[in-house]
Structure formats: structure tokens, C-alpha cells
């Protein structure tokens, strides 16, 4: 294979080095002894450059091609945002720098907070969480703190079976018992199951964690009824805002009864995702929950300057060092300001339009478990192809040979053989047509009984068909040459 290469540690040759620096006079610097004991590879600079350049060529990225992961929103990161994040005044700012010399950064945090308040309709915001799941944890900690302040933290959190896996994990981390609410035949919350849980657990319920729009790509029509029911028993309505990009500028979650919502800046506001992170998961809350927001947070003083509030008796405390992922905040605010309020509405409209374009063009070739129209992502299954021995995993591998990253597979769990496709608003019609054509070709091959060929795919990638679960069940944590 042209790019097959040994790990850098195995390329080590004693005495080889990349940079020739004079021996430091101070011998007891922090980490010096540790570095001498861990066995760093001894390699030349060209070796290192070529090694990582080869690895980069094996990578698939949003800068290289279409990345239709459902529920992950892998969209283009505008270069303007990157340029602004690298401005010297931002990039070289130290988190321990004084407030006097950090006014520009504090004002940026304040402005981003204000944008999120207006877009969500929720008056309290923290930008501290380091990612969406961290935001979930922060939100649920505030809910628990609020119930404790009333004298009873309660015991139960309701979570739909279509939820992101982080939702029940977060509630369990906050010491709640999870009660699962099933999804109905229409892909929405089964209201009979929801009402039954309300009747059974009543005022033991702390909150309901609902993703809306859901992981089935649908907007929950009973959301206001759900909110009112929860509030009638003193419970909170937690909205997982991972899919906020479908409704940003169109719907304010605070207006439909949401008490707490986390969002992922990368999903709605185009900051880098995955290996290109780090993430950022702001949380918005109602006025009632504002006293429990994490510290520190930025306030504007009467003289127009900005200050960090670091003490608050009712806060849940610090949930991250310093002030959150500041670099992501710069990119998100740049995205918001460059689009404006009307532009963000257009973002949501285009994301929904593109998903429905794919759904419309593939609905005759693949099984659609819930009738459209969909929101920002469309859900298909392998039901038609499985009759000919071709599964969702086979389809995903065939897409690799067609030059596309696969969609999210086998999620949500509420349908068999799920394929969740999210094109985002940044893809052109030509790109969508290319993806649709690839999927149609795969469907045609499956109808013609080409199952064995599917099982042998992919053939054009650096690695061929891998065991999908071995890395989790039998991880090799130490490689021996």
C-alpha cells in the first residue's frame, strides 16, 4: 500500500533529531525528567513532516467532500471565522490577563450571550461548557440545584427512546432514575406513554429531556402540551438543542415552554467539529434558573466596561477552567454577525429544504419509516434492501467506494437499520444530486441481487472492510513491534 508506514516511535533511530538546540543551563525544568523517561522517538524533521503529511492524505474531511452525518451537522466552516479567531488580540490573549486588558474579549462574550438570549427566548446564558454533552450536564445540574433549593431534588427524569445517548447518561450522572418514554408509530413522543409516566411518577419527576427537532428529523407537535404538563407538576422541560440549526431564527424555544436548552456551537453556528474542535456547548435557561448559572460570567457595568462575576452564593459553581472555549465563541459570533437575523432564518430554511430534497428523491428507492416532510435531516432504513441481503452497513461501505462519507447508521435506535442523513445548508444542488445518484445506484445494485459484492466493499479505501465492534470489545492499548 502506498501510504503504509510504521508508527513514528518505530521509526526512531538513536541519536537522530530534528532540531539542534543548545543544552539549557537550567536542568530541573518541569517535565524535563519525565521527557527523558517516556522514550520520545528520535527522528529527523523530514521524517516527521512526511509521516503526518501521509496520515493527512488518508483523512476524510468536510473540506474535502460531502459529509452527510445525521444529527451531527458537519457543515462548511467559513474561512472568515477562522481569520477573525486568529487576530492577534484574540489568539494571544492569556486567560489570566487582567480585566482591564481583556475588555475586547469580555465584550465579545457579552455580545454572543446577548445573541443567544434573543435567538432562544431564554434570558440566562452560560458559555462555559466545553461541548454539547457537557452542556447537558450543566443544565441538569442547574435543574437539580433548583429542586434542592425547593427542598426536594426529586428522583426521576423522563427520556424518549429516540434521544441522544448522552441524555440518559447525563441524567444518571446527576443521580436521577431514568424512565424511558417510547416513540409512537408517527415518530413523535407517544403521548399515552408520556401521560402514563406523569400519572405514575407525578411530583417525583425532575425534568423531561426532549430533543426537538428529534433524531427522527421531526418537529414535535405536542411540545407545548408537554411543557404545560411538566410545569403543572413543578417539573422542568429540558430541550436538547443539538438540532437547533433547523429552527434557528424561526422558533424561540423559550416561547414554547422550554426551561433549559443546550446547543452545540459547531452544529448551528459552524465552528469546527470532530477532530477539528474543540467544542462548545452553551446553555440557555429561564429567569427562574438564572441564579444557578455557573461562574464566572460577564456583566456590563454602568460605565460601559465589562467585568467577570466570579462569586455567586446560589451558583452550581465552576464547570470548566477559565471562561470556556473562547476561540469557538469568536467563530460563532462572526457567523451570527455575518449572516444577521434574516440570514440565520435563511440558514434554517435551506437546511430543511436540502434534507427534504434528498428525502423526496430517495423515497421510492429506500424505506421511509415516518412520512415527510422532515426537518434538517431525513431518516431512511434498509428495509427494501435487506430483502436482498443488503444491510445498512453494506450501503454505508458502498458509499465509501462512491466517494462519499457514509451517513449516520443504526441511529436512532427506534427504527431497524436506520440511515440518518443531514446535508446541511452549505451544500450545493450539484453535490446533493451526486449523493442522490450514488444512493440510487446502490439501491439498483441491491435490487439486482448483488449482495456478495456489497459484503466485499469498500475496495477503494486505505483499509478495507473492518470489524465494526472489535475496537470496542478487544482494544489494543499497547502495540508491541
Interval 396-431: pLDDT, tens: 999 999 999 999 999 999 999 999 999 999 999 999
Q: What is the CA radius of gyration of the chain?
A: 25
Model confidence band, residue 334 (pLDDT cutoffs 50, 70, 90): very high
Tell me the percentage of the chain whose pLDDT exceeds 70.
94
Q: How confident is residue 30, by pLDDT bands cut at 50, 70 and 90?
A: low
- pLDDT range class, residue 72, cuts 50, 70, 90: confident
Q: How far apart are CA 243 and CA 75, in angstroms?
A: 13
Higher pLDDT, 56 or 225: 225
Mean pLDDT of the chain: 92
- Element (DSSP H or E) covering residue 113: helix 103-120
Residue 332, pLDDT score? 96
- Taking alpha carbons only, the member of 354, 404, 361 closest to residue 380 is 361
pLDDT digits (tens, 9 = 90+) for 303-330: 999 999 999 999 999 999 898 999 999 9
Neighbour count for residue 302 (Cβ, 10 Å) = 5
Residues 6+ apart with CB under 8 A from 214: 160, 162, 187, 188, 220, 243, 412
**Band (368; pLDDT cuts 50, 70, 90):** very high
How far is 216 from 189, CA to CA, in rounded Å?
11
Predicted confidence band at 196 (pLDDT cuts at 50, 70, 90)?
very high
Longest dimension (CA), the chain: 74
Model confidence at 295, pLDDT cuts 50, 70, 90, reads: very high
pLDDT for residue 284 is more than 60: yes
Return the C-alpha cell found at 384. 427494501
Distance CA 120, CA 263 (A): 10
In the three-class reduction of DSSP (H, G, I as helix; E, B as strand; rest coil), residue 397 is classed as helix
pLDDT at residue 357 tops 90: yes
Q: What is the pLDDT of residue 469?
A: 86
What SS3 state is found at 361?
helix
- The pLDDT value recorded for residue 35 is 56
480 has a pLDDT exceeding 70:
no
In the predicted model, what is the mean pLDDT of residues 187-207? 97
The per-residue pLDDT for 283 is: 98
In this prediction, residue 477 carries a pLDDT of 78
Rounded-to-integer distance, Cα 127 and Cα 113, Å: 7
State how far the alpha carbon of 101 is from the alpha carbons of 72, 234, 303, in Å. 37, 44, 16
Structure confidence at residue 238 (pLDDT): 98
Tell me the C-alpha distance between 334 and 331, whole Å. Answer: 5
pLDDT of residue 466: 87
Is the pLDDT confidence value at 49 over 60? yes
Count other C-beta atoms under 10 Å from residue 455's C-beta. Answer: 14
Which of 51-55, 147-151, 327-331 has the lowest average pLDDT? 51-55
* pLDDT for residue 425: 93
Asked if the model's pLDDT at residue 179 lies above 90, the reply is yes
Residue 108: CA count within 13 A, CB half-sphere:
22
Inter-residue contact 261 to 227 (CB < 8 Å): no
pLDDT at 448 over 60: yes
What is the pLDDT confidence band of residue 24, given thresholds at 50, 70 and 90?
Answer: low
Q: How far is CA 173 from CA 61, 158, 202, 296, 418, in A?
A: 33, 14, 22, 23, 28
Across residues 20-46, what is the average pLDDT? Answer: 69
For residue 170, give the H/E element and its range. Answer: helix 166-173
Q: Taking a C-beta distance cutoff of 8 angstroms, is the pair 125, 282 a contact?
A: yes
Q: What is the rounded average pLDDT of the residues 330-352?
A: 95
Q: What value does the mean pLDDT take over residues 157-184? A: 95
Instruction: Return the pLDDT at 56.
Output: 86
Pairing assessment for the beta strands 177-181 and 156-160 based on DSSP bridges: parallel
d(CA 472, CA 451): 27
Single out the residue of 14, 282, 340, 338 nearest to residue 138, CA to CA: 282
Strand partners, 261: 239, 284
Give me the residue label for grid cell 466493499. 457
Q: Is 80 exceeded by the pLDDT of residue 2?
A: no
pLDDT at 354 over 70: yes
Entry pTM: 0.90
Amino acid at each position: 500500500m502506498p501510504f503504509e508506514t510504521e508508527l513514528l516511535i518505530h521509526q526512531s533511530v538513536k541519536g537522530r533529531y530534528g532540531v539542534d538546540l543548545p543544552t539549557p543551563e537550567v536542568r530541573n525544568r518541569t517535565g524535563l525528567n519525565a521527557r527523558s523517561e517516556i522514550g520520545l522517538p528520535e527522528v529527523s524533521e523530514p521524517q516527521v513532516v512526511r509521516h503526518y503529511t501521509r496520515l493527512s492524505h488518508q483523512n476524510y474531511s468536510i473540506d474535502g467532500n460531502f459529509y452527510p452525518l445525521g444529527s451531527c451537522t458537519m457543515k462548511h466552516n467559513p474561512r472568515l471565522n477562522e481569520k477573525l479567531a486568529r487576530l492577534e488580540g484574540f489568539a494571544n490573549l492569556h486567560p489570566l490577563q487582567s480585566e482591564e486588558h481583556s475588555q475586547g474579549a469580555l465584550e465579545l462574550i457579552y455580545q454572543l450571550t446577548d445573541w443567544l438570549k434573543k435567538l432562544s427566548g431564554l434570558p440566562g446564558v452560560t458559555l462555559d461548557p466545553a461541548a454539547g454533552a457537557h452542556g447537558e450536564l450543566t443544565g441538569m445540574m442547574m435543574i437539580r440545584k433548583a429542586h434542592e433549593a425547593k427542598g426536594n431534588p426529586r428522583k426521576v427524569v423522563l427520556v424518549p427512546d429516540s434521544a441522544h445517548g448522552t441524555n440518559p447518561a447525563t441524567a444518571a450522572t446527576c443521580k436521577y432514575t431514568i424512565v424511558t418514554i417510547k416513540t409512537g408509530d408517527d415518530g413523535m413522543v407517544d403521548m399515552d406513554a408520556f401521560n402514563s409516566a406523569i400519572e405514575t411518577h407525578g411530583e417525583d419527576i425532575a425534568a423531561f429531556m426532549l430533543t426537538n427537532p428529534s433524531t427522527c428529523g421531526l418537529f414535535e407537535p405536542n411540545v407545548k402540551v408537554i411543557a404545560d404538563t411538566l410545569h403543572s407538576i413543578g417539573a422542568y422541560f429540558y430541550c436538547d438543542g443539538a438540532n437547533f440549526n433547523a429552527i434557528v431564527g424561526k422558533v424561540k424555544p423559550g416561547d414554547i415552554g422550554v426551561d433549559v436548552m443546550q446547543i452545540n456551537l459547531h452544529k448551528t453556528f459552524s465552528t469546527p467539529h470532530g477532530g477539528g474542535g474543540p467544542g462548545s456547548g452553551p446553555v440557555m435557561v429561564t429567569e427562574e434558573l438564572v441564579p444557578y448559572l455557573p461562574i464566572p460570567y460577564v456583566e456590563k457595568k454602568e460605565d460601559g466596561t465589562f467585568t467577570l462575576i466570579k462569586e455567586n452564593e446560589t451558583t452550581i459553581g465552576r464547570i470548566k477552567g477559565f471562561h470556556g472555549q473562547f476561540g469557538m465563541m469568536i467563530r460563532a459570533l462572526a457567523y451570527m454577525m455575518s449572516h444577521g437575523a434574516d440570514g440565520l432564518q435563511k440558514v434554517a430554511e435551506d437546511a430543511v429544504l436540502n434534507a427534504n430534497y434528498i428525502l423526496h428523491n430517495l423515497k421510492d428507492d429506500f424505506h421511509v419509516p415516518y412520512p415527510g416532510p422532515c426537518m434538517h435531516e431525513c431518516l431512511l432504513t434498509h428495509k427494501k434492501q435487506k430483502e436482498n441481503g443488503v444491510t445498512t452497513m453494506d450501503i454505508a461501505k458502498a458509499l465509501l467506494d462512491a466517494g462519499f462519507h457514509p451517513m449516520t447508521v443504526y441511529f436512532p435506535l427506534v427504527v431497524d437499520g436506520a440511515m440518518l442523513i443531514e446535508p446541511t445548508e452549505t451544500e450545493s444542488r450539484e453535490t446533493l444530486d451526486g449523493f442522490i445518484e450514488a444512493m440510487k445506484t446502490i439501491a439498483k445494485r441491491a435490487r439486482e441481487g448483488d449482495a456478495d459484492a456489497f459484503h466485499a466493499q469498500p475496495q477503494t479505501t486505505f483499509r478495507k472492510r473492518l470489524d465494526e465492534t472489535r475496537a470496542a470489545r478487544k482494544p489494543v492499548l499497547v502495540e508491541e513491534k
